Amino acid sequence: MFSPAPSLTSRIVQRHKMREDVKTYNLSGMGCSASLISVDLVRNIFKSGKKTLALVVTSESISPNWYSGNDKSMMLGNCLFRSGGCVMLLTNNPSMRARAKMSLKCLVRTHIGGNDDAYNCAIQKEDDVDRVGFHLSKGLPKAAVRAFAENLQYLAPKILPYRELALYMYRSIKQLIVKPKDASNSAMARINFKSGVDHFCLHTGGSAVIDAVGRALGLSKYDVEPARMTLHRWGNTSASSLWYVLGYMEAKRRLRKGDRVLMISFGAGFKCNSCLWEVNADLRDADVWEDCIKNYPPQTLVNPYLEKYGWVNEDTEETFNRAQRMETLRR
């Protein structure tokens, strides 16, 4: 939603006086999925050239998208989104393998924009009085799970061992023959993704999205901790969120040589992108978390302002305006 002219890529080339044969690609409107979409773009470019270097820069600008109205579904963006950014250096040069932190194993992209509910669950629009804002509906977690389910159909065979896939097929057939008597047995055919993945890097689109994806994958509190702590500390930094989550894992020294990291991102449209990385060496760089990693995870994530301002979740726009007037009179 922030698309200046000249483009951000042109500004980087000019600022650092890059060579004239550099190729630039400027993506906008991709939202929180832009980072993995950029990685996929680089992967395709690498197919046409050897010993190539690619610099991926992703950032978020919330200043042009501040919502000044009273529509709660559009006010959420003001509280959730934050400014953030990250830079990745990618290469297909075999001689640089020893210096690389991770290796990309596979990447899968899914788009369900043909569905009206999925398309409208996260969209920039005008409210009733023509004030522009970013609308996030209650159907967002449902759209995320649906897009994720379709993505997993292509992702699972690429990342899971054959034994787990065979076991899943056996459970599915058994579930069709022996129908479960209660809801607790309906999950008997769930895939165990931990058999092929060591760490889960979930997009910090919101607590509801993290919970929904965590339940779908059968993850523990330990598995979703990086995403929850990133949301708590940095908010949703859009396209760069995944790398803040990865930074938390690295700062906690969770990433060891040979570990496999699954990244999952969502974006308006509605899109779901996922990729699998393999760690090439033990990682321990705290990076952006250096000054606060010792305080995480905190003892509680309860919102300290909920008791005082919790009425915002229950009152109508009329009572909201009345409360504002009363607050002004008291002052």
Helix, strand, coil proportions of the chain in percent (round to 5)? 45, 15, 35
- Give residue 184's pLDDT: 43
What percent of the chain clears pLDDT 70, i.e. is strictly above it?
85
Q: Kindly state the tokens that stand for 254.
A: 């969770």
Q: How many CB atoms lie within 10 A of CB 78?
A: 14
When mean pLDDT is compared across 33-37, 58-62, 233-237, the lowest value belongs to 58-62
Does the pLDDT of residue 61 top 80, yes or no? Answer: no
Residue 90, class by beta-carbon neighbours within 10 Å (0-12 exposed, 13-18 middle, 19+ buried)?
middle
Average pLDDT value for the chain? 85
pLDDT digits (tens, 9 = 90+) for 120-129: 988 888 888 8
Interval 2-14 mean pLDDT: 88
Pick from 201-210, 295-304, 315-324 the range whose average pLDDT is largest. Answer: 201-210
| Helical (H) or strand (E) element with 73 | helix 72-80
List C-alpha distances in Å: 294 to 247, 251, 290, 298, 312.
Answer: 14, 9, 8, 9, 33
What percent of the chain clears pLDDT 90, i.e. is strictly above it?
40
Amino acid identity, position 301: L
Q: Assess contact for 241 and 34: CB atoms under 8 A.
A: no
Q: How many CB atoms lie within 10 A of CB 120?
A: 15
pTM: 0.83
pLDDT band at 329 (very low <50, low <70, confident <90, very high): low
pLDDT digits (tens, 9 = 90+) for 85-95: 899 999 999 99
- Give residue 163's pLDDT: 83
- Cα(36)–Cα(108) distance, integer angstroms: 9
Interval 169-184 mean pLDDT: 65
pLDDT digits (tens, 9 = 90+) for 287-318: 899 999 999 988 777 766 666 666 666 655 56
The set of catalytic residues is 32, 111, 199, 203, 232, 236
